[in-house]
Amino acid sequence: MKDLPKLANSQRIQSIDMIRGVALFGVFLVNLPSMNTALCLVEETFAGVKSSRDVFVNDLVYLFFADKFYPLFSFLFGASLFLFLDNKKSELKSPMRLLLRRLLLLALFGAFHVLLVWWGDILLLYALTGTMVLLLRNLQATALLKTGLGLLLVPTMMLLLYTGWYHASGQMVDESVDEYCSEEMLLEDAQVYRHGSFGVIAQKRIQDFLAAYLSGFGDGFFETMASASYYLQVGGLMVLGGASVRGGFWRDDYHHHRGLWLSTGFLTFFLGFIGYALFWSEFPLHYDLAYALFPISGPAMAFGYLVLLRDLTRILPEKMLLPFSCLGKMSLTNYLFQTTFGSLLLYGYGLGYYGMLGPARMTAIVVGVYLFQLWASTLWMKRYHQGPMEWVVRRGVYAGTAK
């Protein structure tokens, strides 16, 4: 692996690597119990809730981690796309061609990931959405900011307007999962994932993947907009990530406006928390309002996390941040390690614990695995320039190209 040159310091922003490494913990904290839960139930609760401790951990994860860290990761992914383009303009004749190769390889990784590991793959979506975001590559920071915010706010405004009209006409949105998540469906799901062969589970994974990413389209305006809002949200966050690169968020501009960034981050986190907490409130129409605000509630809290972590990179010693930075530099390798570990722990071709472990135990497992990843990533990066999966992607991207 040492035949590839190490990236120059100017080409990597260490704070992005560190924040990406921290974000992987939040992603894993949600992904592992999601892998343990039926698709029809995962938006409501995780499987295996048997004790008050499980209830507490379940609500804690949903309130502070679920739908907060994939937005943060989407933002960082977009920042990396624009950072690559801007850094390579002076070095290469066609950085776009290399970036498209990278996204194609990521899409292939995602397709195999769905088939072999987990239906909740994010790589394929990132590759497809990232390709569309590159159409905006010539925009400057202000235009990217406006476009990204528009992609987040438009579906929310449409959902709010539709929700108001829906209730004005005397109708109600059903919040119960009973109609589409019956006891028979849960038993069948557990039977397949806990006891099925690899082939049977792979077929089920594909079905769940298609249901997760395509359901809702064509089922009515509210359902279609709710489904489309997810893709607009991810795209909007990637565009905002690009705006952060071209607007100076990762350079000294942040330090010059630190108070403003921290105040804005705190405010957006607070507002996003209120929007997300509506799911648990007794406020009239709480569920419908929370669902309409969903496209912006999670990203608003994610922005609060982003600003906090960005500030920590400024004040914490480099030695303390190094393990997280190393883990973030190997984000693809570590993400695939996490989901592969979960697949072998939970599914029938592995240990078969699917549906049997509650959120409390899942969280303990996540912490243990993540600590191991911090240690292993730091050890690996002392010897190599990139993680093994990053090496594969880089070899594919630069194949036949003078480096």
Residues 370-392 have pLDDT tens digits of: 999 999 999 999 999 899 999 99
pLDDT-derived band at 1 (thresholds 50, 70, 90) equals very low
> Judging by beta carbons within 10 Å of its beta carbon (0-12, 13-18, 19+), is residue 64 exposed, middle or buried?
middle
Name the burial class of residue 164, with classes exposed (0-12), middle (13-18) and buried (19+) by CB atoms within 10 angstroms of its CB: middle
The model's pTM:
0.90
Does residue 8 have a pLDDT over 50?
A: no
Q: Lowest-pLDDT range, 242-251, 290-299, 373-382? A: 290-299
Degrees, nearest 5: CA angle 235-123-149: 15
Per-residue pLDDT, averaged over 22-35, amounts to 97
Instruction: Go through the chain and tell me how many residues it has.
Output: 403
Q: How many CB atoms lie within 10 A of CB 330?
A: 28
* Residue-by-residue DSSP string for 74-138: HHHHHHHHHHHHHHHTTT-S-HHHHHHHHHHHHHHHHHHHHHHT-TT--HHHHHHHHHHHGGGTT
CA-wise closest residue to 33 among 63, 10, 57, 17: 57
Q: Could you tell me the residue ranges of all domains in the chain?
A: 9-398
> One-letter amino acid identity for 295?
P
pLDDT single digits (tens) 193-244 = 999 999 999 999 999 999 888 876 666 666 677 778 889 999 999 999 999 9
What contacts 155, CB < 8 A, 6 or more positions away? 225, 228, 229, 232, 233, 295
- Is the pLDDT at 175 greater than 80, yes or no? no
Beta strands in 200-317 (DSSP E): none
**CA gap 21, 325 in Å, rounded:** 6
Closest CA to 240 of 84, 16, 78, 81: 78
Q: Predicted confidence band at 167 (pLDDT cuts at 50, 70, 90)?
A: low
Name 185's Cβ contacts closer than 8 Å, sequence gap at least 6: 38, 40
What's the angle, vertex CA 62, arms to CA 274 and CA 180, rounded to 5? 105
Tokens of 263: 């105040």
* Residue (of 246, 228, 24, 225) closest to 142 by Cα position: 246
CA distance 278 to 289: 7
| Residue 374 near residue 334, CB atoms below 8 Å | no
> What is the spatial distance between Cα 215 and Cα 400, in angstroms, rounded to a whole number?
41
> What is the Cα Rg of the chain in Å?
21
- Give the type of residue at 282: E
* DSSP assignment letter at 197: -
Close Cβ partners of 233 (under 8 Å, ≥ 6 residues apart): 71, 74, 151, 152, 155, 295, 298, 299
